[in-house]
Amino acid sequence: MDGVSIPLDHVLLLSALLFICGLLGLMMRRNIIFILVSLEVMLNSSAVAFVAAGARWGQADGQIVFMLILAVAAAEVAVGLGLVLQIQRRFKSLDMDDANRMRG
């Protein structure tokens, strides 16, 4: 590696910062759509770390894990948005605090 190429540390730092943004959003927002968006941001930031590490050693493994993350994100979004429709119908709002009671 010569000095011109992008340092791995900085890509990992970007990934960590994106993850922190997603985590803070997940904890602070109460709208269920924003909670799903924060989950997407967190999954995406971990994908950045995988792809960067895979590219650093010239291996394809990082991109394969990226594809698996993509599949997980797609399945999670499909089920999560189905739940959004149900919660909107049942509670007439998208606030997660309206839906915090469990029925035993």
**Which residues would be at the binding site for other proteins (CB under 8 A)?**
1-2, 4-6, 10-11, 14, 17-18, 21-22, 24-25, 29, 31, 33-34, 36-38, 40-41, 44, 47-48, 51-52, 54-64, 66-68, 70-79, 81-86, 88-89, 94
Q: How far is Cα 16 from Cα 35, in angstroms, rounded to an integer?
A: 18
Question: What is the number of other CB atoms lying within 10 angstroms of the CB of residue 15?
Answer: 20
Nearest distance, CB of residue 25 and other proteins, angstroms: 4
First to last CA, the chain: 59
SS3 95: strand
Nearest distance, CB of residue 36 and other proteins, angstroms: 7
Nearer to other proteins, 2 or 101 (CB): 2
Nearer to other proteins, 94 or 104 (CB): 94
Q: How far is Cα 80 from Cα 52, in angstroms, rounded to an integer?
A: 28
One-letter identity of residue 44: N
